[in-house]
Structure 1
Amino acid sequence: MKKSRFKVLSIIVVVFMLATTLMGCSKDTTDSNDNQSGGNTPNVDNNKPVTVTAMIMQSRYTEGLKNMIQKLKDEENITLEAQIIPDDQYDNLMTLKLATGEAPDIIDYNVPAIYGVVDAEKNLEDLSNEPWVAKLKNDSNVRFNDKIYAFPFSELTGFQGIIYNTEVFEKNNIEVPKTWDDVLAACEILKEKGITPFFSPKDSWVPQIWMTAGYSKALGQDKVEEFAEQLLTNQTKFTDHPELAQVIDTYIEVFDKGYVNEDYLSASLDKGLDQLAKGEVAMLYGSNGVANSIVEAFPDAKINMCNPKMPYQTEDLVSVAAYSVGLVINKNAKEMDAAKKILELWSTPAYENLYFETKPGFPAFKDVDGGELYAFMLDIQRDYIETGKTVPEMNQLLTPIQPLYRSTLWVYYLDAPGKGMNGAELLEKFQADVEKLMKEKQAPGF
């Protein structure tokens, strides 16, 4: 892994800052822009109905995406037959379908994380020469071995922190936490009043946000990139850094003190979002994407986000995610031309604007209206991103070990509170998994 890979993240954060000042300027885009492809549209007979198959994670099947799918059917006679799969089952099913030749035409996944999970050259269609590539604001995050195999929706996904119900805080005279001690004090007040302080779901990708953000903030701006490079070349180990174990220990602490819902191993994220919106729980450690989902489902919900400085931090930083929800095309797609046409159409403002209409963000494509940012996004943007107080989340820096996330590491995080495992023990266990995987890959240094 090269230093230049990580420098890209800083560039993208700068673009994030520019995007917030330009947001909304694209609303005057004309219909002629919607049809500019920059190249030839795949050869599909517009008069002939065609059905393209897809698999999509349940949490990403948003109203905006549904509207895009409906527009395809109404205007192009293209039906996107999507299998909606629970997030915690998605990885296993995707890899199984690819291995058995049963994968659909289009597959939903995070980009560039997909490159660490599947063999792109073997399984995915090369999209480097598609017309929409020229319309990307920045293509560095979708490239793999100098080729593009993925279609991104966003240039920058956002950031992580504590999502909280502002009405619950106000009614209980709780100030927005600025430190970990403030968080614990708020939890104690809430617990005494019969309100569950934190919600944690069975969906393993949610609780892991605490760690992927925490690891990077614990290491700091100057050390996080070096750590990632050295870990992937066997020059350092997770277990060499006690501050990483401390991140896990703070996560476990809220469970040990009874500040988390008792059904965390069985409760769904949807249940948690509903309870948080209604004020039945007060907080959830997540991302602005999760917060967006609450606002989308519950427009009247009073929520905000905060980023308290944790005991393992020496710098006051926010963790940012320079990846995107994206789509790839199965190399053996039955409806290849139609699948490519969908991506070309979806790169235009006519479709992309629908995607961001109910879920504001930072579009990957030029001339797209990302929507009006929510107040909680503007606060973090002002206090951290504009001032350069950011660090890339750990997950995206360790793409080669991505296959271990859902199957191993994130399971350890779910199990740790109930099994009495501390941070040091968890990382020792995971370090062995990392070394085994990297030896199997014959990675340099292993």
Structure 2
Amino acid sequence: MKRNCLHTAASVVLAAAMALAGCSGGGETAKPSGEQGGSQGGQGGSGQVTLTMNSWRVEDTEGYKKIIQAFEAENPGIKIDFKPLKATEYDTILNTALQSDSGPDILQLRPYAPGVSLAEAGHLEPLDNLPGIREFPQDVLAAATGKDGKVYGVPLSLNSTQIYYNKKIFDQYGLKEPKSWDELIATAKTLKEKGVVPFAFGAKEGWLLSLSHGVIAPGTYNGNAFVDKLLKGESTFTSPEFVKSLQRMQELAPYFPENFVGLELNDIRTMFFTEKAAMFINGSFELEGLKKMNPDLPIDFFPMPTDDGSTVLTTWVDGSYAVNAKSKHKQEALKFLAFMTTKKFGELFAGEFKRISAVPGVSTDDPLVNKMAEMSQSIATPYLMVVHFAEGNPSTKKTLENALQGMYLGKLTPEQVAQEVQKSAEKWFPAFKK
């Protein structure tokens, strides 16, 4: 699958992974449309403007210091105050602030429906005339494009999610990257028999469950053909292949840590980088942190084996950055977002975070990131719940997460989980509406 066809198979291909940046752009700088409203940005002396910038990634604080310094060196009249919030609290705090006209000048958008909903509520400034914005492929811009066709965010990164593994532990027990589901289970069984936790896994945070299912499920429905049928309403979440994906999530449970239902990301991340677990299902965004916490970690990853003998890599466009429509300093905020479309920003981002800038044309010096990039070009499948089923109240994605938690607590069967997901989607998804 080519990078400029992220949505061809029904969405976003992480072209994700990592060929990124390049830019500079056309169009004229967008102008402020009204100065009313509150913003946390302040006016300093000598005409200096301070912009507040929110994100859900507290762990990115140090990396953004270098990026912001590069921007401020070229724009001495503008200061950026990066104020990240805890990921689990971000949405609530941000929505409350925006509704009271006191939100940040620059904010990170959740990808697809959740971010677009802020535009529909009138909180975001359109970016169609932002210099550099049209350098991004349409499928990448789709993650922050409203139903009105306007672009509201500068795409930040292209993500994949996969199964990381500890090469030293695998070598110690003569294990190879599994090429089928049966081989994956046999690998987990061998590790457990040797006294090693096969998977660092936790079910306390629901998003970890939908993310893990996003890796496991395409192996049962063989990637994109099922996704295409689902989006056309020719198949449903109660189909045998989707139910099978939930059964496989249940089948993995014996190979999770003790008391895994009470473990969260920090617990399982620590378990993996301290080499107490052999495998870790998570996103490309975890790579930089894992390497920082254990520079000697012998890490690699493998894509998900499919039942038809192939492999798939789950991909999506991650968060974008937007401008608060009520910011008192929109011109300055737009200037920073224009900087985010440039190759300079893309290279800084990729270098600092070992991630994929969404800016076209940027390569990295990290072999694992490049491996993700290569696979995303040929074997990508969309993170279904993020790209296509993040709407509804609660969203279908959230419904899956809650139901999987119920399954792991012994309250729901895989078949009942599928029924809950289908009922949720039928309430809003056009192809399912009757």
TM-score range for the pair, normalised by the shorter chain length: 0.7 to 0.9
- What residue in structure 2 maps to residue 125 of structure 1? 125
Specify the SS of the correspondent of 2:321.
strand
- What residue in structure 1 maps to residue 260 of structure 2? 264
Q: Does 1:337 align with 2:338?
A: no
Counterpart mapping for 1:150-299 below 5 A: 150-154=153-157, 156-157=158-159, 159-201=160-202, 202-220=204-222, 221-230=224-233, 237-239=236-238, 241-255=239-253, 257=254, 259-299=255-295
**Aligned AA for 1:163?**
Y
Aligned pair in 2 of structure 1 residues 85, 413: CA closer, same or farther (>3 Å)?
Answer: farther
Specify the SS of the correspondent of 2:208.
coil
CA distance in 1, matches of 2:423, 2:340: 42
Aligned pair in 2 of structure 1 residues 405, 328: CA closer, same or farther (>3 Å)?
Answer: farther
Aligned pair in 2 of structure 1 residues 114, 283: CA closer, same or farther (>3 Å)?
Answer: same
Aligned pair in 2 of structure 1 residues 172, 444: CA closer, same or farther (>3 Å)?
Answer: closer
Counterpart mapping for 1:294-313 below 5 A: 294-309=290-305, 313=307
The Cα shift of 1:305 comes to: 0.6
Aligned pair in 2 of structure 1 residues 436, 14: CA closer, same or farther (>3 Å)?
Answer: closer
Identity of aligned residues (%): 19
Q: Which consecutive unaligned segments of at least 5 residues does structure 1 have?
A: 27-32
Say whether the 8 Å CA contact 1:105–1:329 is kept in structure 2. yes
Say whether the 8 Å CA contact 1:196–1:261 is kept in structure 2. yes
Q: Does 1:392 align with 2:359?
A: no
The Cα shift of 1:251 comes to: 1.4
Specify the SS of the correspondent of 1:314.
coil
Q: Which consecutive unaligned segments of at least 5 residues does structure 2 have?
A: 33-42
- What residue in structure 1 maps to residue 426 of structure 2? 435
The Cα shift of 1:164 comes to: 0.8
CA distance in 2, matches of 1:294, 1:287: 11
- How many residue pairs get matched? 414
The Cα shift of 1:45 comes to: 10
- What residue in structure 2 maps to residue 351 of structure 1? 345
Say whether the 8 Å CA contact 1:164–1:303 is kept in structure 2. yes
CA distance in 1, matches of 2:136, 2:427: 37
Pick from 311, 322, 325 the counterpart of residue 319 of structure 2: 325
**Aligned AA for 2:209?**
P
**Aligned AA for 1:326?**
S
- What residue in structure 1 maps to residue 409 of structure 2? 418
**Aligned AA for 1:147?**
K
CA distance in 1, matches of 2:77, 2:425: 47
CA distance in 2, matches of 1:420, 1:187: 25
The Cα shift of 1:148 comes to: 0.7
The alignment's C-alpha RMSD in Å is: 3.6
**Aligned AA for 2:395?**
L
**Aligned AA for 2:319?**
V
Say whether the 8 Å CA contact 2:273–2:293 is kept in structure 1. no
Aligned pair in 2 of structure 1 residues 219, 406: CA closer, same or farther (>3 Å)?
Answer: closer
Specify the SS of the correspondent of 1:131.
coil
**Aligned AA for 2:421?**
F
- What residue in structure 2 maps to residue 53 of structure 1? 52
CA distance in 2, matches of 1:115, 1:14: 18
CA distance in 2, matches of 1:55, 1:229: 37
The Cα shift of 1:330 comes to: 2.0
Aligned pair in 2 of structure 1 residues 229, 403: CA closer, same or farther (>3 Å)?
Answer: farther
So what's the TM-score if we normalise by structure 1?
Answer: 0.79
The Cα shift of 1:433 comes to: 2.8
CA distance in 1, matches of 2:396, 2:10: 24
- What residue in structure 1 maps to residue 35 of structure 2? none
- What residue in structure 1 maps to residue 38 of structure 2? none
CA distance in 2, matches of 1:318, 1:176: 14
Aligned pair in 2 of structure 1 residues 285, 12: CA closer, same or farther (>3 Å)?
Answer: closer
Say whether the 8 Å CA contact 2:44–2:50 is kept in structure 1. no
So what's the TM-score if we normalise by structure 2?
Answer: 0.81
Say whether the 8 Å CA contact 2:314–2:383 is kept in structure 1. yes
Farther-moved stretch of structure 1 (327-336 vs 314-323)? 314-323
- What residue in structure 2 maps to residue 29 of structure 1? none
CA distance in 2, matches of 1:401, 1:315: 35
The Cα shift of 1:197 comes to: 1.3
**Aligned AA for 1:112?**
Y
Aligned pair in 2 of structure 1 residues 297, 342: CA closer, same or farther (>3 Å)?
Answer: farther
CA distance in 2, matches of 1:8, 1:402: 27
CA distance in 1, matches of 2:58, 2:236: 33
**Aligned AA for 1:48?**
G
**Aligned AA for 1:169?**
F
CA distance in 1, matches of 2:110, 2:59: 10
**Aligned AA for 1:219?**
Y
Farther-moved stretch of structure 1 (170-179 vs 96-105)? 96-105
Say whether the 8 Å CA contact 2:27–2:131 is kept in structure 1. yes
Counterpart mapping for 1:31-50 below 5 A: 39-40=28-29, 48-50=47-49
